[in-house]
Structure formats: structure tokens, C-alpha cells
Amino acid sequence: MSRFEGIRVLVTGGNSGIGRATAQAFAAEGAAVAVAARDEARSDIVAAEIESAGGRAVAVRCDVTDEASCRSAVDAVVATLGGLDVLFNNAGVIYRERTAPETTPEEWDHTFAVNVRGTFLMSRLVVPVMIEGGGGVIVNNASYFGLVGGKGTAAYSAAKGAVVLLTKAMALDHARDGIRVNCVCPGSVDTPMLRGEMEEMGGADAVRHRFEDKHPVGRIATPEEVAAAVLYLASAEAAFVTGVALPIDGGLTAQ
């Protein structure tokens, strides 16, 4: 029996990077997966990849900053899959190389809208569904920047710090509802987001070593390594784990 047979999972930002790898990993272990993001064409491709590998997946359009969009996505997923057991709040954005004075109010608001408001909106809609279903698991994607500050990431560090404490507060509120709430705090992960940051900073060839060198293990993570931690937190093996911010960072925050 696969670890997630019969389990229904919704992954925001499921059409790229860590979200895509996590959707694929859940499906490979038997879950039915909803891939949610704004770009439906890319979500359709990920859902088709999962289906052609023998898994079950649906794509749903969702802008996590917009309450009505979140509501219609959650309603559609619950109607299609018959309920929801796991929510991975993974959608995120970063404006890098910006101190607070260099961050525009619009960039600040957008950073908080996707990373924090999106996590809040999706969670507040999904909790009642999980309670009705007898429980569930929420995993949030924070960052090591939510545990320690980072230069040039004022808005992003503030937002990811908020995600870490939203995780802990919700874990306390819903412990007796049978809902566990945890977050992962990845170091640098090889995804389109990180590659975009490298381009802005002078190109991957010039700056990749800077990302690798800051991790004690001497490299950056693969999206699959973060996915493995998300699956652990969502699994029955983690039944006594809630309110945790788990670094997946090659030792970065151990320093």
C-alpha cells in the first residue's frame, strides 16, 4: 500500500519548482493531487505529466492573493476529489537585492499578498473542510529567511517570518481539531525562482558559487529534497509533529 493512497492533496504554486516536484512526489505515492496556480496552461502540463506517469491529478486556476479565486479553487477541488486531506501552501514570490529603502511599497505588498495573505486565505478556507473530514495536515513553505534575516531580502524575510509564526499559531489553534500545521524552511533550491534571482544578480555562471558556498554542505538543494520533507510532514510518521519550522538547508541555519 502506498503511503498516500486515498489522500487528497492541494498544492499551491504546483506548476513550477518545489510545488511541481511535491505534486509529483505525492502522486507517485498514491495521492490524488490538485495543482493550483495562476497559469493554468502550466498547471495542465504538470497534471498531464502526473497522469501519464500513472498518478491522479487535476489542475485548477488559483490566485492565492484573491479571496474569491481561492474560494472557487477550494470548492472545485473538494467537489472533484471529494474532500481534502493535505494543503501545501507553497506559492511564493521574492524581490531580491532590495534593502527596505530600495523596496517599493508595491513590492512589499505583493510579497506579503502572495506569501502571507495567500497562506492565510487558503488555510482559513481549508480548515473547515478538514474539520468536517475528521482532520488533516497543512504544510507551509517558508524559507530559511523566515528563521534568520538575509541581506537584500527585507520584505521576503519579514513575510517568511510571518509564515513561520502563522504556522505555529495555527498549529496551536487546531491541534484538537486533528489538524497538524508545520512549515519547511528551505535553503537555496534549484528552481525557476532561484534561477531568476541569479540572472538578476549577474548570471548563474557568475553567482551560482555564492549560493553553493553559503551552505555548509557546499551545494544547493534539489526541489525533490524539499518535497521529501513535505511528504514526511504530511505523513502518518509525523503524527506527533505539529508547529514545527523544519530547516531543509544543508546546515545553513545551524551556524
Ligand X SMILES: NC(=O)c1ccc[n+]([C@@H]2O[C@H](COP(=O)([O-])OP(=O)(O)OC[C@H]3O[C@@H](n4cnc5c(N)ncnc54)[C@H](OP(=O)(O)O)[C@@H]3O)[C@@H](O)[C@H]2O)c1
Cα separation, 129 vs 112, in Å, equals: 25
Measured in degrees and rounded to the nearest 5, phi and psi for residue 23 equal -60, -45
Longest Cα pair distance anywhere in the chain, in angstroms? 54
Q: Considering beta carbons, is residue 65 or 182 the nearer one to ligand X?
A: 65
Q: Considering beta carbons, is residue 42 or 219 the nearer one to ligand X?
A: 42
Closest to 138 (Cα-Cα) out of 182, 172, 81: 182
**Does the annotation mark 156 as catalytic?**
yes
Cα separation, 164 vs 255, in Å, equals: 19
Cα separation, 246 vs 248, in Å, equals: 6
State the residues that interact with ligand X by CB under 6 A: 12-13, 15-19, 37-39, 42, 62-65, 90-94, 114, 141, 143, 186, 188-189, 191-194
Q: Considering beta carbons, is residue 32 or 163 the nearer one to ligand X?
A: 163
What cell was used for 220? 544547493
**Of 95, 144, 156, 232, which is the active-site residue?**
156
Q: Are 238 and 184 in contact (CB under 8 A)?
A: no
**Separation of CA 82 from chain center:** 22
Q: Are 14 and 36 in contact (CB under 8 A)?
A: yes
Q: Considering beta carbons, is residue 13 or 136 the nearer one to ligand X?
A: 13
Catalytic residues: 156
